Chain A
């Protein structure tokens, strides 16, 4: 991976401080985002994908907090910025769209105004100029009648349109990185495809990198260049998309891929990974996946595996690949 990393997350640790103890929601995650690429983060709910995104954005609120690691955006560490400095970065250099287009827009303001606000915050434009920019970006994200929609309230728009507004808002300042947290989960399948294509197109046009967080392997396959598989706050496997789908190495990834229904196979029953995501407060002593792993050995229950290099640019957190070099400590 010799490309320039526009975003370099190293050993990120974010914990929740609750009554019952400290919960390691993100536990030593390292992610590299090359410029202009789409990076996927997949995993089941509660695996720490969203927490990672929120940590990067500096949006973690009490009782959650980043406790370790570094996040370098275009070479600059943004983990220790003051609120003021951070606000200059957010929405400008790095932006985010969320899973729930229904609730992510403020119901009491017209959507155009909400997007315009992002411009006014970061660029020295007059209100009229900013408005024109909003209409332009609305057009770019495929909102019909952008002049009219400018004055619409969120509840007057369909979910797909709202998500387009969100994308518009995230893209309007030409950020270096855009994090999309399950941007299509709440949408119909047809609209999902449109939105994904839109993101891909914008990414290309503007040279913006995207971190796409999803639990849907199909989506990953469709748009991502590189994939991180997360489980219980840790990256379990990371690889280029083709590599991952060709050689899913971690038992968890294998399970995930098996559980996608395939049209060309006539399986009697859909595969499921047994068990549930473990309680982060009471993680197994060894590999976090050991309780559900069908390949688990004794060692897996007592010792934590590192991320081992299974192939070039392909990391797996499983003792099976211990022969490769360690990618983290």
Chain B
């Protein structure tokens, strides 16, 4: 078990380096001088040159990269051009909000997804299957910012059940979590359904029926756990799409999270901020993958015994 964990972690390291390198290169081939863009009007050329020097932008690319990685390893993602603050600190300030949003959204997504998936699997190819899958897929089918906006309009603005924006109370968290969660529910529902349908073909399901379990008992007691195991690995994939969706949801609801930082980075062409945000998010996803993998190992007795 331990050796597997270590091996799994070892595999993640080149991925991590690759991610940082990819982002680094992509952001360096941006046309235009970042400093000029950053400073805007009223600027003296001498100032531009001075700032470029201070930011180390005049050094060769590989030196810049090594420095960046060395600093990043110490948890320093550099200083934001625009905000003149430590990027790590900015990210860590925004991080809890995004985590809260993602976890809540994940809960919503899993609730909608699994319920819809189970119903759809039981009622395979019948009306309820279509209705529930359709409902779950609706969330994926609208641009997430429109879903957010419509929810906001109906439940916050018209019905006044929740505040329009913010993220400082549980009421304020409800709508963003639903908007984001619904967006991910479709794929969970789809996977739950197809896994369940597949698991239900297994011999042990027949055994369960033969011992006198009724259909609901068979599904909940025997099929679900098996069907959910692969869905666990999907958590990692979900994390990725959820963080993508968070970029949009946070903007609509004014949640001060990491997604907003990425947008800030793009809008203000703040390369260190964008770079730090993407690298940090990606690390989160790699970690999420790792955890999902390990969790899978723990949950599935067949693999767990390997140690």
A interface list, Cβ under 8 A from B: 57, 59, 83-84, 87-92, 95-96, 98, 100, 103-110, 114, 117-118, 121-122, 153, 155-156, 166, 169-170
Contacts and interface: CB of A to CB of B under 8 A. Distances in A.
Given A84-B214, A106-B208, A155-B301, A98 B203 contact: yes
B305 A169 contact: no
Contacts of A166: 207
Nearest to B205: A106
Interface residues of B, number: 23
B210 A83 contact: no
Nearest to B223: A106
B300 A108 contact: yes
B225 interface: yes
A121 B217 CA distance: 10
A275 B221 CA distance: 45
Closest 4 CB pairs of A and B: A91-B212, A91-B211, A103-B203, A118-B211
Contacts, number: 81
7 contacts: A57-B209, A88-B212, A90-B209, A91-B211, A91-B213, A106-B207, A108-B226
B290 interface: no
A104 B225 CA distance: 16
B28 interface: no
B212 A106 contact: no
Interface string B85-112: 0000000000000000000000000000
Contact of A117 (B203, B206, B211, B229): B211
Nearest to B301: A153
Given A89-B212, A96-B210, A166-B207, 12 more contacts: A84-B214, A87-B212, A90-B210, A90-B212, A95-B210, A104-B203, A106-B207, A107-B301, A108-B225, A117-B213, A153-B305, A169-B207
B206 A95 contact: no
Nearest to B229: A108
A87 B208 CA distance: 10
B302 interface: yes
Contacts of A108: 225-226, 229, 299-302
Contacts of A92: 212
B204 A107 contact: yes
Interface in B158-211: 202-204, 206-211
A104 B207 CA distance: 6
A6 to B, nearest CB: 18
A95 B206 CA distance: 11
Contact of A122 (B212, B226, B300): B212
B204 A106 contact: yes
Interface of B: 202-204, 206-215, 221-222, 225-226, 229, 299-302, 305
Contact of B204 (A89, A104, A170): A104
A107 B207 CA distance: 12
A117 B226 contact: no
A51 to B, nearest CB: 13
B212 A107 contact: no
Contacts of A57: 209-210
A25 B25 CA distance: 65
Q: Which of B208, B215, B305 has the most CB of A within 10 A?
A: B208
Contacts of B301: 107-108, 110, 153, 155
A100 B225 CA distance: 21
Nearest to A99: B203
B301 to A, nearest CB: 4
A92 B212 CA distance: 7
A153 B299 CA distance: 13
A169 B214 CA distance: 17
Contacts of B226: 106-108
A117 B209 CA distance: 12
A91 B225 CA distance: 22
Contacts of B225: 108-109
Nearest to B125: A62
Given A107-B301, A108-B226, A153-B302, A121 B211 contact: yes
A100 B212 contact: no
Contacts of A156: 305
Contacts of A121: 211-213
B302 A107 contact: yes
Contacts of A170: 210-211
Contact of B206 (A59, A107, A114): A59
Given A106-B204, A106-B226, A91 B302 contact: no
A92 B213 CA distance: 11
Contacts of A100: 203
Q: Which of A96, A108, A118, A153 has the most CB of B within 10 A?
A: A108
Contacts of B222: 106, 109
Nearest to A58: B209
A206 to B, nearest CB: 17
B233 to A, nearest CB: 15
Nearest to A90: B212
A96 B208 CA distance: 10
Contacts of B202: 103
Contacts of B214: 83-84, 87
B212 A105 contact: no
A59 B209 contact: yes
B162 to A, nearest CB: 40
